[in-house]
Amino acid sequence: MAFPTETVYGLGADARSPEAVARVFALKGRPSNNPLIVHVADEAMARSLAGAWPSEAQRLAQAFWPGPLTIVVPRAEGETQIPDIVTAGGASVALRCPDHPIALGLLRAFGGPLVGPSANRSGCISPTLAEHVRREFPGDEPLILDGGPCRRGIESTVVRVPIDRASRVEQGVTILRPGVVTQRDLERVLGLPVETAATLARADAGALPSPGMLERHYAPRSAAFCFAGTQWPDVLDALLDLDAPAALLVHERRSVPHPHRRFAMPADAAAYASALYRTLREADESAPTSIFIERPGDDARAWPGDPDAWAGVHDRLRRATEPFGSS
């Protein structure tokens, strides 16, 4: 079953059933070393699945739940333990309370936790409309709860919290995957520095510490390249060498030469994130020779606002594209 959240549509299954979760992995073609986020109805349900619930987890949950923040904590042992298939055999579990009435209603009616990875083939563009889910699984379509467009548009921020004071000194609260909730948002609530996972090993072998950390992810079928605004003259030269039209996701004030197709992107970070996957799917479905995406947020005059707000978008573009001019 596919259900909407405020971020993307997810494939739901009983998080306590290895058989149900295995069907989700099979439908997506998802690597077994890529753990799943467990969706919960409230903080009480999250606590029941956690082996420890540090004060940082409590403060973050109270500030951002329901909402686009996933909190990674030690998983509980015994009867409430989430099975290994969900955590990729790791000792931690990723927990989130979604901010969508259908998702919350489903969780409360079910009375237990649900996994909810994006309702698409592994590595492909995440769905933000019910129609995206239908197109993703032709002939194998799951039951879909249509909740309209997902307003946030990219996946949740994922953070790992320390188990005790000693581990805080060693690693602190760490962002494993950036998203709508920013580093500055987290630091404002916690009153302490928050690290990023830039130094974590990003190898695709072995259990990953968080969903969304595969090097190739969120990607269109067409070859896609991300370019800086300063590279625009070089992009124009590259377009001259193409035999057929390309698709370009560019700043809303930038024009594109005929016959190439222009997809105007908002200058606001939240609006850009909300539109990104939907627009990228539309561009990909236009059968372009290539997709060129202008990296947003680099020039404060063109892309105003807090630079930290672009971290989630930059992460998705880095994994979905190749740098323009790198070959």
CB 8 within 8 A of CB 155: yes
Task: State mean pLDDT over 239-263.
Answer: 95
What domains can you pick out in the chain, each with its CATH number? 2-199 (3.90.870.10), 224-323 (3.40.50)
Lowest mean per-residue pLDDT among 12-21, 59-68, 156-165, 291-300? 156-165
- Sign, Cα dihedral of 190, 305, 313, 141: positive
At 134, list the tokens. 């239908």
For the cut 80, the answer to whether the pLDDT of residue 58 exceeds it is: yes
Average pLDDT score over residue span 297-309: 90
Identify whether the C-beta of residue 199 lies closer than 8 Å to the C-beta of residue 262.
no
Q: What is the mean pLDDT of residues 25-52?
A: 96
Preceding peptide of 211 cis, ω within 30°: no
Compute, in degrees rounded to 10, the torsion defined by CA atoms 265, 271, 277, 279.
-30
- DSSP letter string, 4-73: --SSS-EE-EETT-HHHHHHHHHHHT--TTS--EEE-SSHHHHHHHBS---HHHHHHHHHH-SSSEEEEE
For residue range 86-110, list pLDDT tens digits in order. 999 999 999 999 999 999 999 999 9
Residue 202 scores a pLDDT above 50:
no
Q: Is the pLDDT of residue 169 over 50?
A: no
Percent with pLDDT over 70 in the chain: 94
**What is the pLDDT averaged over residues 146-168?**
84
Three-state DSSP at 225 gives strand
Give the residue carrying structure tokens 């990953």. 208
Task: In whole angstroms, give the CA distance from residue 262 to residue 49.
Answer: 47
The string of DSSP codes covering 112-139 is S-EE--BSSSTTBPPPSSHHHHHHHSTT
Model-wide pTM > 0.85: yes
Q: Which residue has the higher pLDDT, 215 or 148?
A: 148
